[in-house]
Amino acid sequence: MLTPPRTVVRRDAGLYALERALQRRGFRHVAGADEAGRGACAGPLVAAAALLPEGRRGEIDGLADSKLLTPASRERVYEEVVARALAYAVVVIPADEVDARGLHVCNLAAMRRALASLTTRPEYVLTDGFPVDGLEVPGLAVWKGDRVAACVAAASVLAKVTRDRLMVELDGRYPGYGFAEHKGYITAEHTAALREHGPCAEHRFSYVNVAAVSGRDGRPPRSRRPVVADGHEPMERSGRSGGTVGVALGEQPRPPAPVGEDVVMEGGVR
């Protein structure tokens, strides 16, 4: 039996070249997965998966790595991805789960769940940076995948816009930290606010900089909350229950549910 020739895709061949090459090899449904919030010390970790249609319908004007887009451009591209995708899914991991399970474990689990939640089963999976096992379909981890593969870029936009919206909501709940501006990342302004106010319920106490201002002498605690002298937690919960929360699923041609109007909520409330 003849072995098919090896396919070589140049990194400068364009955002859709890798998916088109896989589709020519028989993998019609190529899904991408990415996350937002790995480097933040406050707020949730958000992962998303997207499966774009073949051909021109799957080509979205302005689609790129979400970090390279302006907020207005991300919102516009987000709406296009939701409208055009064959399927998409977004999964939110709360800060307390990141503390309990660890960032990398939560990151892989969230991408795995997002991909498994796609209502159109992918035949091949592309992920940004990290390989994800247990998918039961072939896959490839692509370095800077959100700048190389359209489906990964689409997932990055879904994750980023979802997380940014959540952080704006948290800014109203926890004023004084500037979550609406820096989205929980370790900026100079956020560091100053942490020193002035201490951590809130949405900070990740397993992060060294948060642990340092929580009375643990810079040592990341194993548990979600530091213990204080009177035996009570220093902050009250915001009312959101623990556990992984799936915030959006979508499928075409059915009108997709916008992020925040959940099709599936596991461990959460509407």
Q: Which DSSP category does 90 fall into?
A: E
34 known member of a binding site: yes
- State the CB neighbour count (10 A cutoff) for residue 96: 23
- Say how many CA atoms lie within 13 Å of 223 toward its Cβ: 6
Beta-bridge partner residues of 125: 31, 139
Give per-residue burial for 101-110: e unless 16+ CB within 10 Å, then b. Answer: eebeebbbbb
Type of residue at 150: A
Residues 6+ apart with CB under 8 A from 187: none
75 known member of a binding site: no
- Say how many CA atoms lie within 13 Å of 241 toward its Cβ: 10
- Say how many CA atoms lie within 13 Å of 15 toward its Cβ: 18
Give per-residue burial for 20-36: e unless 16+ CB within 10 Å, then b. Answer: bebbeeebebbbbbbbb
128 known member of a binding site: yes
Question: CA dist 112 to 12, 144, 227, Å?
Answer: 28, 18, 34
CA distance 226 to 201: 11
Phi, psi dihedrals of residue 61, rounded to the nearest 5° = -60, 125
Binding-site residues sit at 34-35, 128
Binding-site residues for a divalent metal cation sit at 34-35, 128
